[in-house]
Amino acid sequence: METLYTENILYAPMAETVCWCSNISKKSIIEAIQNGAVSIDDIRKMTGACTLGRCKEMSPRKRCCSKEIMQLLNSYISS
């Protein structure tokens, strides 16, 4: 069974998983940003995302989730 995902995380629903190895949703990452996260390190500390290093094998995107996390950070910080 293929897992569906939104190619551009900015258009993904809030419940969509961003970090597959830690099972962290877009909503959790956005909440961390709203609570002061300004870097990927902040996101790691506040949510546990991007810490287990298994997204490349678990994610349907077949890559680390840091690209999507940075996209969300940049989107919210620049707005």
Q: pTM for the whole thing?
A: 0.89
Whether residue 11 is contained in a domain is answered as no
- Residue 37 sits in a domain of what CATH number? 1.10.10.1100
Whether residue 1 is contained in a domain is answered as no
Q: What is the pLDDT of residues 2-45, one digit of tens each?
A: 567 899 999 999 999 999 999 999 999 999 999 999 999 999 99
- The Cα 49–Cα 65 span in angstroms is 8
Where would I find the beta strands (DSSP E) of the chain?
17-19, 24-25
Whether residue 7 is contained in a domain is answered as no
The structural domain count of the chain equals: 1
**Amino acid 3: pLDDT:** 61
DSSP 3-14: PP--SSGGGS-T
Whether residue 8 is contained in a domain is answered as no
Domain boundaries, position 66: 18-77
Whether residue 60 is contained in a domain is answered as yes
Whether residue 56 is contained in a domain is answered as yes
Helix (H, G, I), strand (E, B) or coil at 19: strand
